[in-house]
Structure 1
Amino acid sequence: MNLIDAIIIAIIEGLTEYLPISSTAHMGFTAALMGLPEGEFLKMFQVSIQFGAILSVVVLYWKKFFDFSNLDFYLKLVVAVLPALVLGYLFDDAIESVLGNQIAISSVLILGGFVLIFVDKWFQNPKILDEKDIPIKKALIIGFWQCLAMMPGTSRSAASIIGGMSQGLSRKASAEFSFFLAVPTMAAVTVYSIFVKTWGKGTINEMKGYEMILQDQFHIMLFLIGNVVAFVVAMIAIKFFIAVLTKFGFKAWGWYRIVIGIVLLVYFWNVPNNEIQNENISEITAIQQSTND
């Protein structure tokens, strides 16, 4: 992965992290379409640049995050993030095994699109218009909804926003609480991926995330620039998403997921066949050469 590759992936992360279209899926698709090898550093990089996206929410809503007189706000976030922390730790290996399966992720993208087309009709007449009115129990339920996003392609943002609407929150209140909830959720994932998780487990190249980052100056530069780009782009995307969601709802995002999902499903469905054909051609060529020799 070179610097341009890292910037492109960071732009995709910033654009899609808070939209209901799955940042994991889009980063995976982008890396695959650019022909980047699915190495451990690439996977760790895609997780670690979420730190920049986290900071964008903290900066945009800094009054909320640094209002220490409102302890109820922090309690709701702690309660809501607990399901993701526990289940994410338990199913980390299973989740990682799906990250490279573009067929499965494309299919989930399409299915989620159909859900978004109809979700506005399912949850009408909201009763909670502001985050401060969310009861602790409802915050916990939203936290369990967020866990649906452990399947790559689902979208953490979509799962938690729909979870909020199912609990009587308005679209705007659901989206903002989803943004708030993203901070402890992604902070925990980022810390785990950089300082706790062992990448390349069982191989001679076992490393912690921070060891891969500090391996050389180039990796450090990729990490820093990736986070800065994700931060800037995410700030723009959040403002845009809130405006569009409040006015138009989810239907446009649903159709986007379906269209892009179908296109990518067709593309990646044919990729394995092409690879197999190339491997077979190489084998035949090698046999012919050995016969000629």
Structure 2
Amino acid sequence: MVEHSLLDIIIMGVVEGLTEFLPVSSTGHLILAGELIGFKSDTGATFEIAIQSGAILAVLVAYWRRFTDVLVGLFARDAGAIAFVRNVLLAFLPAAVIGFLLIDAFEAMLSSPITVAIALIVGGVVILLIERSVRVPRYTSVEAMPWRASLGVGFVQCVAMIPGVSRSGATIMGGLLLGLDRKTAAEFSFFLAVPTIAGATVLLLWKHRHDLDTSQMGAIGIGFLVSFLVALVVIKGFVVLVSRYGFGPFAWYRIIAGSAALVWLLAR
């Protein structure tokens, strides 16, 4: 395994925790950050996927009461809890099937930083267009979403398998187009991340199980912890920010960052 400094590992963990739930593409930023600091993983995307689990733990901690209420509600056959679980699982289904079938094709794209830069720019423009076209929301909670809207968000999420698109950005924008308000769209993206990234982590770790050894566990553990702590801070602040200012600032950031990255990559 290529040895990396503690600072490099911490930088990658911070990048993951900071960008996982923002509509700016955590995978894209990890790829570009890796290019910038020379961080290369022997097992492709395994390190990046593994430390994403830290961000998922942050969702479970930040919304522990919500998840506990849902679990209790399921045992009590509460209609709201059942609708919550149904919507999350329906939205997860398309990515589970398509990701399993096309994992090699999508993993191959992880080695293309230029794809990331272009996707950042295009995604920023798309967010600006959607922000201007969104009408009065029809659904203000995950439980109120009809199954068709949940499944629709799930298919939109599949677009984010292209590095640089952003899983959170795709699901949030899809949610807005399908009638969710900003807060609900953001939180649904958080909840959907739990089975989606957990599934991707298990699938990739299993695929690369023969490449893993105990020497990698320390780096993965540090990256996991850093991403968890940073994501925990980001989650609540993000909901407040988008409820007040919308997604425009993130769109402009994508366009500027993607343009700068593209110029840098082409000029090297």
Decide: shared fold, TM above 0.5. yes
Partner of 1:30: 33
Once the 2 structures are TM-superposed, how far is the Cα of residue 46 of structure 1 from its aligned partner?
A: 0.5
Q: Equivalences for 1:45-64 in 2 at 5 Å?
A: 45-64=47-66
Tell me how far apart the structure 1 counterparts of residues 39 and 17 of structure 2 sit (CA, whole Å): 19
Once the 2 structures are TM-superposed, how far is the Cα of residue 51 of structure 1 from its aligned partner?
A: 0.7
Structure 2 regions of 5+ residues with no counterpart? 74-80
Q: Equivalences for 1:132-211 in 2 at 5 Å?
A: 132-194=143-205, 196-198=206-208, 208=209
Tell me how far apart the structure 2 counterparts of residues 78 and 129 of structure 1 sit (CA, whole Å): 19
For the Cα contact (< 8 Å) 1:118–1:251, is it kept in 2?
A: no
Once the 2 structures are TM-superposed, how far is the Cα of residue 31 of structure 1 from its aligned partner?
A: 0.8
Partner of 2:77: none
Tell me how far apart the structure 2 counterparts of residues 52 and 246 of structure 1 sit (CA, whole Å): 25
Once the 2 structures are TM-superposed, how far is the Cα of residue 240 of structure 1 from its aligned partner?
A: 1.7
1:121-179 C-alpha deviation (Å, 9 max, x unpaired): 11121111111101122111111111110111000001000111111100111000010
Tell me how far apart the structure 1 counterparts of residues 127 and 174 of structure 2 sit (CA, whole Å): 12
Count matched residues. 256
Partner of 2:102: 91
Partner of 2:78: none
Tell me how far apart the structure 2 counterparts of residues 237 and 15 of structure 1 sit (CA, whole Å): 6
TM-score of the superposed pair, with normalisation by structure 1:
0.84
Partner of 2:252: 255
1:66-121 C-alpha deviation (Å, 9 max, x unpaired): 22212322222111101001111111111111111111110111000111122221
- After TM superposition, what 4+ stretches of structure 1 lie above 2 angstroms from structure 2? 39-43
For the Cα contact (< 8 Å) 1:53–1:230, is it kept in 2?
A: yes
Q: Which has the larger radius of gyration?
A: 1
Once the 2 structures are TM-superposed, how far is the Cα of residue 42 of structure 1 from its aligned partner?
A: 5.6
Tell me how far apart the structure 2 counterparts of residues 243 and 142 of structure 1 sit (CA, whole Å): 22
TM-score of the superposed pair, with normalisation by structure 2:
0.92
1:104 has 2:115 as partner? yes
Partner of 2:20: 17
For the Cα contact (< 8 Å) 2:109–2:163, is it kept in 1?
A: yes
For the Cα contact (< 8 Å) 1:117–1:252, is it kept in 2?
A: no
1:215 has 2:214 as partner? yes
Q: Residues 222 and 42 from structure 1, CA distance in 2 versus in 1: closer, same or farther, beyond 3 angstroms?
A: farther
